């Protein structure tokens, strides 16, 4: 187990700092997300797609912030109860006389949900969106591929937002931001990393923010031990 002292001394152990969000989700992407929120409010189904640690949660956070206050927000998880929760939504819309945006986090395939049950869930999502409910569904790329294999209707009608990978310059900014969080004097230096090491980290991570931080954490710790 990593000690609390090491977490404080190594700025890369923590997965998210508030200062990192603007690097991972720059203004240009936030504008796209705000435009997507408007489409979701028109009862569209939006899939937010990316690998673990790519920034799906940040995208969901920005989407939720962009939803008008006169809309209700429901957050559901991909569990065995999901089907019943989805079926109850149209009645809730009528009862409360309020439009809803439903966020389904970690919509991932599992052994407890076979293709038959997944098809039922996808059909209900499609029907519920027509009844006045917008959906934001976060998932892995392989999950989306399976969803579209099973539901041709969703493949034709859904909106897909692929979380962008960090460019090398963004990755560099992320590393500098973390280093500055423990420096006495802030700078644009990437020390103790070299440019070669940082480029290798970025390529290995495939631009995934969480993976960049994990790789940096290990190298940083080793350099401190030398």
Q: How confident is the model at residue 16 (pLDDT cuts 50, 70, 90)?
A: low
- Domain extents in the chain: 41-162, 166-225
Evaluate if residue 141 carries a pLDDT over 90: yes
Q: What is the pLDDT of residue 2?
A: 44
- pLDDT confidence of residue 22: 87
> Are the CB atoms for 136 and 103 separated by under 8 Å?
yes
DSSP for residue 11: T
Q: What is the mean pLDDT of the chain?
A: 88
Q: Which residues pair with 75 in a beta bridge?
A: 103
| Alpha carbon distance 35, 52 (integer Å) | 24
Q: Which residue has the higher pLDDT, 87 or 103?
A: 103
In what helix (H) or strand (E) does residue 154 lie, and over which residues does it extend? Answer: helix 152-157
Q: Taking the CB of residue 195, how many other CB atoms lie within 10 A of it?
A: 10
Sign, CA dihedral 171-174-180-181, equals negative
| pLDDT tens per residue across span 33-48 | 999 999 999 989 999 9
pLDDT at residue 92 is higher than 90: no
Query: What is the structure's pLDDT at 153?
Result: 92
The answer to whether residues 49 and 12 touch, using CB atoms and an 8 Å cutoff, is: no
What pLDDT score does 3 carry? Answer: 44
Indicate the CATH number of 41-162 among 1.10.10.10, 3.40.50.300, 3.30.1330.60, 3.10.129.10: 3.40.50.300
Mean pLDDT, range 151-171, rounded to an integer: 95
| Angle between the N-to-C axes of helices 115-130 and 141-150, in degrees from 0 to 180, rounded to the nearest 10 | 80
pLDDT of residue 96: 63
- Exposure string of 125-147, with b = 16+ CB inside 10 Å and e = fewer, is bbebbeeebbbbbbbbeebbebb
H/E stretch holding 120 reads helix 115-130
pLDDT at residue number 225: 72
181-185: Cβ within 8 A, 24+ apart = 181/11, 181/17, 181/19, 182/9, 182/11
Which strand (E) or helix (H) includes residue 76? strand 72-77
Average pLDDT in the 119-142 region?
A: 91
Cβ count near 17 (within 10 Å): 14
Under the banding of pLDDT at 50, 70 and 90, the label for residue 52 is very high
């Amino acid at each position: 187990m990593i000690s609390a002292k090491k977490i404080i001394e190594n700025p890369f152990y923590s997965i998210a700092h508030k200062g990192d969000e603007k690097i991972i989700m720059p203004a240009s992407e936030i504008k796209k997300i705000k435009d997507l929120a408007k489409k979701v409010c028109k009862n569209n189904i939006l899939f937010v797609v990316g690998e673990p640690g790519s920034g799906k949660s940040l995208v969901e956070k920005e989407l939720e912030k962009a939803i008008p206050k006169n809309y209700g927000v429901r957050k559901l998880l991909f569990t065995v109860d999901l089907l019943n929760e989805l079926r109850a939504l149209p009645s809730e819309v009528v009862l409360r006389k309020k439009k809803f945006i439903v966020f389904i986090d970690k919509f991932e395939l599992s052994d407890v949900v076979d293709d038959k049950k997944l098809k039922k869930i996808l059909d209900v999502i499609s029907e519920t969106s027509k009844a006045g409910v917008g959906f934001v569904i976060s998932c892995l790329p392989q999950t989306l591929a399976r969803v579209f294999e099973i539901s041709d209707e969703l493949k034709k009608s859904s909106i897909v937002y692929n979380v962008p990978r960090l460019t090398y310059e963004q990755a560099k900014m992320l590393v500098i931001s973390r280093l500055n969080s423990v420096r006495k004097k802030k700078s644009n230096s990437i020390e103790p990393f070299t440019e070669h090491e940082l480029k290798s980290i970025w390529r290995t991570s495939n631009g995934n923010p969480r993976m960049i931080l994990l790789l940096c954490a290990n190298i940083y710790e080793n350099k401190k031990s030398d």
